[in-house]
Structure 1
Amino acid sequence: MSSKSAGSASTATPSAVPAFWPLAMANDMLQQGLELYARNAKFVEEEIRIHDDLRPKLATPSRLRLDLRTMALREYGQQGKGIPTLVNAPYAGHTAMIADYHQGQSLVETLLANGIDHVALTDWKSATADMKDLEIDDYLAQLVVAIDDLGGRVNLVGLCQGGWTSAMIAARFPEKVNSLVLAGAPIDTDAGDGPIKRMAHASPLAFYEDLVKLGGGLMRGKFMLQGWKNMHPEQHYIQSHIDLYEHIDDPAYLAKEEVFESWYENPLDLPGRWYLQAIRLLFKENRLAKGDFIALGRRLDLKTITCPTYLLAGAGDDITTPEQVLDAAKYIGTPAADIVQQTVPGGHIGLFMGARTLKEYWPGIARWIASQN
């Protein structure tokens, strides 16, 4: 071997020599394996944090005005400046965080920034075993207590399932409601052709009764959560995990995901009697729209609602189809000139939490509410 050849061999890297290829490959695989292991461990840790450790928290500082059996009444802004605006959050399995989601992306914050000085929020509590026999009337009664404590007359904003209870209050006590906003609220449950309507009519009442029995007299939030996820299984069981894995090193993505999942993955339990009443009387028999619903001792007639009313629907809403919201105009007694009907892009949750809807549509709704004072 020449000195030149010897010199070339002595300076060659191990990977340039065939004998060292297996060793170099093993080293590369080891490094990749360690990185993959660390990434997988981080992914598993984040999954546990999202699904087991995080709890929902309202974004905007508030005052506790009332602590009732079924709800905590939260208060924002300044008292004594005009008629208060009461946001009636859904009591459908998730917390009131839907109305006060994240700083810069909050319905409460949007209302306060657009002409409304005093906002209150119904923060409904998860039902405990001793609450299993509470009825719709019990929740309506406590909503009346909240309104009376706020001065006896409010601008009422009903979100989703909080919409039909708000409509009931406006029909039963019209003098207590100065203006009414129904957003994604199922008023005419026979309208449209959404999956919730089909499921309510296709499934026998015994199916829901069995779920309540399985929950020990309560409709467990975890049962409802599985039902919602099964409406879009590919998103919840596959795509969401893929998205999390792909963004596991992105702090901004993780922060946003944690806020949403702290709300979505922590559902509330509902009283079994309340839930079965809602399924049978509202979603199967559509009694509110038909004028056959009895609330607090009186048959409700939606024609007694004569206050200015704003109806907001999501074009892609598959929980409460636009027709179920907008058809309320056919039943209430408010003059047509005082009814606003609006359909906006997006689905159900986006009506209350979506950045675009909060930026482009809710400021106008807030100014409409303020103009009613």
Structure 2
Amino acid sequence: MSDQENQTSRFARDMAANAEKMFKATQLIANTRDEDVAIGTTPKHLMMRRDKVELFHYEPMAEATAKTPVLLAYGLIGRYTMADLQPDRSLVRSLLSKGLDLWLIDWGQPGRTERWLKIDDYVDDYIDAAVDRIAQETGHDKITLLGICEGGVFTTCYTALHPEKVKNLVITITPIDFHADVKDKAAHHGFLNLWTRSLDPDDIDKLVDTYGVLPGEFMSSVFSMMTPMRSLTKYNVDLIDVVDDEAKFMNFLRMEKWLADRPHHPGGAAKQWLKDLYQENRLVDGSFELSGRRVDLKSITAPVLNVFALDDHIIPPDCSRALGAKIGSTDYTEIPLPGGHVGLFVSSKSQGKLSQSIADWLVARDANPGSEA
């Protein structure tokens, strides 16, 4: 048999095998129920509701190590369930298992009726009300804030404006200098920054005013464009690769469920996020204002832990690193970890490192109240 005939035969066998796997995948998906791919399942109790925003308290899983309550705040671009994707890939469960007293603020599903909400409302109303409720429930005058991505910007602003209520600030994959991507040598880092800066401010206003929100579907398409080949191949190549491994197959479906659950971003806050921060970089230059007050990062005197991903193509490392030189705290720690923007939280390789780093840092400061500047 000639080489060409061998190649043709191998191609035919591969095509048949792939077709068989795709058929198997369609059967598995057809037989999978929504509850089989449930995400955000760590037990928690509703403690307060304010408009569509809810405050939850997670059930403890271990003896307390750091007694200071920790409030977890995700961003408005995605859902907090990324930090609680499944039991063995959950930052939430990992922190609870290490004895932290964990609380969650869930922004809910904003719609057109929330079009007037601004970052001012999320920081000075919703987060402030949650902090006061936690203080009331626990007897702690100060709490720890743990912000993820846009939630890290919110908690950073809150700490600057309300330093008397914050014992520690922990931020992860959080942009501070929205223009620092120009220093990044990796060609695939900073596409979102570059694309957002290229938008005409009037076009941003037209988009947001038309819908009342920055539509979740629109942002999903933007993120898909950042990794076009992966977006094109994940339902054939990636799916075929995991169809014979049930655990990996369910991991794939849970991630797709999280990606599909992208909420709308309230209109007023979206304009601030895109124009004041991404385009004009007002947070790092000290001109960003909330509720009539300037957000002065030098006002942050509490201990700060800044965790970022070294291969983050959405929030390049330099965008996060900028915080250290801007705050007034003398207790500042950076922890760069391998991985990407989402992989830092859901990858099996990074699970232990991320939660252990946060827990160790918080326990050390809980045992040493004098660490605060």
TM-score in terms of structure 2 length:
0.83
Question: Is 125-134 or 52-61 further displaced after alignment?
Answer: 52-61
Offset, 1:71: 2.0
1:101 aligns to what? 85
Mapped contact 2:37–2:253 kept (Cα < 8 A)? no
- 1:224 alignment partner AA: M
CA contact (8 A) 1:174 1:304 kept: yes
The offset of 1:271, in angstroms, is 1.1
Post-superposition offset of 1:305: 0.2
The residue that corresponds to 1:197 in the other structure is 193
Measure the CA separation in 2 of the matches of 1:366 and 1:36: 44
2:325 aligned residue (327, 330, 346): 330
Q: Out of 238-247 and 216-225, give the one that drifted further.
A: 238-247
Structure-2 change in CA distance of 1:260 and 1:305 (3 Å):
same
- Report the CA distance shift for 1:46/1:268 in structure 2 as closer, same or farther (over 3 A): farther
SS at match of 2:181: coil
Q: Which has the larger radius of gyration?
A: 1
Counterpart residue type for residue 63 of structure 1: H
- Deviation for aligned residue 1:217: 1.3
1:48 Cα deviation after fit = 7.6
- Give the AA of the match of 2:348: A
User: Is the Cα–Cα contact under 8 Å of residues 72 and 104 in structure 2 kept in the other structure?
Assistant: yes
| 1:165 alignment partner in structure 2 | 154
Question: In the TM superposition, what whole-angstrom CA distance separates every residue of 1:22-44 from its partner, at most 9, and x where no partner exists?
Answer: xxxxxxx9xx99x9887545544
Q: Kindly tell me: are residues 55 and 90 of structure 1, through their superposed partners in 2, closer, same or farther at Cα, counting changes over 3 Å?
A: farther
1:306 and 1:90 map into 2 onto residues whose CA distance is 23
The aligned counterpart of 2:117 is 134
Per mean C-alpha deviation after superposition, the further-off stretch among 310-319 and 106-115 is 106-115
Gaps (5+ residues) in structure 1? 1-28
Correspondence 1:58 to 2:51: no
Deviation sequence 1:210-256 (CA, Å, 0-9, x none): 43245x21111111001101100110122442221343343222211
Report how far residue 326 of structure 1 moved: 1.1
RMSD of Structure 2 on Structure 1 (CA): 2.7
> Partner of 1:145 in structure 2?
129
Structure-2 residue corresponding to 1:355: 348
Match of 1:75 in 2: 57
Q: CA deviation at 1:134?
A: 1.1
The 3-state SS of whatever aligns with 1:355 is coil
SS in 1 for 2:261: coil
Letter in 1 for 2:201: L
Matching of residue 291 in structure 1 with residue 286 in structure 2: yes
From 207, 217, 237, the counterpart of 1:242: 237
1:189 Cα deviation after fit: 0.9
Of residues 87, 90, 110, the one that matches 2:75 is: 90
Q: Note the residue ranges of structure 2 that are not aligned, 5 or more in a row.
A: 1-11, 136-140, 183-189, 367-373
2:223 aligned to which of 228, 242, 248: 228
Matched, 1:186 2:171: no
Q: Distance in 2 between matches of 1:201 and 1:49?
A: 44
Q: Who is 2:96 aligned against?
A: 112
Paired with 2:55 and 2:36, the residues of 1 have a C-alpha distance of 23
Q: Tell whether 2:73 aligns with 1:121.
A: no
Structure 1 counterpart of 2:365? 372
Between 349-358 and 339-348, the greater mean CA deviation after superposition: 349-358
The one-letter code matched in structure 2 to 1:73 is L
Aligned-pair identity (%): 28
Say if 2:39 and 2:86, in contact at 8 Å, map to a contact too: no
Which range is displaced more, 362-371 or 322-331?
A: 362-371
Q: Which amino acid aligns with 2:70?
A: T
Q: Cα 1:280–1:319, aligned 2, differ >3 Å: closer, same or farther?
A: same
